């Protein structure tokens, strides 16, 4: 069963996309693997305190991405292959790093400085 205990809502981006990203990152990290069962929409709604419609939208998005599959009634299961995992990983990483790099360049920061900033942030995180 996919666990959402670590899930935390943040402001800034839509909740349903936060849920999608959470699952994607879990897959890349290996904590979510092929065949895992997703919690039912009702349960997840109650668990993280989010409107059922929002959960539905997230699940729909995950289905469209081919990451989960609804089988036998209301239950959903994760369906991924090593290849698709790599694809997700690449997409997640390149999108975010590209944005960071572009903005830092606009701020006139050198690559060395950027790298040291990342290393710093890495250590500071709790």
Partner DNA sequence: GTGGTCTAGACCACG
Partner DNA sequence: GTGGTCTAGACCACA
| Residue numbers at the binding site for DNA (CB under 7 A) | 13-17, 38, 40-43, 50-54, 56-57, 59-60, 63, 70-76
Classify 125 as helix, strand or coil: coil
Which residue in the set 35, 49, 82, 108 belongs to the binding site for a second copy (CB under 8 A)?
108
Helix segments in the chain, DSSP class H: 15-29, 41-48, 52-64, 82-106, 111-124
Of the pair 51, 81, the CB lying nearest a second copy is at 51
The reply to whether 115 sits near a second copy by the rule CB under 8 A is yes
Helix (H, G, I), strand (E, B) or coil at 76: strand
Q: CB neighbours (10 Å) of residue 56?
A: 13
In the bound state with DNA, the residue whose beta carbon lies nearer, of 53 and 87, is 53
Nearest to 91 by CA among 20, 10, 6, 13: 20
User: Residues in the site for a second copy, rule: CB under 8 A?
Assistant: 14, 21, 25-26, 28-31, 51, 64, 72, 74, 89, 92-94, 96-109, 111, 114-115, 117-122, 124-125
């Amino acid at each position: 069963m996919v666990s959402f205990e670590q899930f935390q809502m943040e402001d800034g981006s839509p909740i349903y996309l936060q849920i999608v990203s959470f699952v994607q990152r879990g897959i890349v990290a290996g904590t979510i693997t092929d065949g895992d069962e997703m919690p039912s929409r009702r349960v997840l709604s109650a668990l993280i305190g989010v409107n059922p419609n929002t959960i539905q939208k997230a699940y729909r998005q995950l289905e469209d991405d081919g990451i989960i599959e609804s089988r036998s009634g209301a239950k959903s299961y994760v369906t991924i292959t090593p290849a698709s995992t790599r694809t997700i990983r690449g997409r997640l990483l390149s999108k975010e790093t590209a944005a960071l790099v572009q903005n830092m360049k606009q701020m006139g920061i050198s690559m060395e400085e950027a790298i040291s900033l990342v290393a710093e942030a890495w250590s500071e995180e709790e």
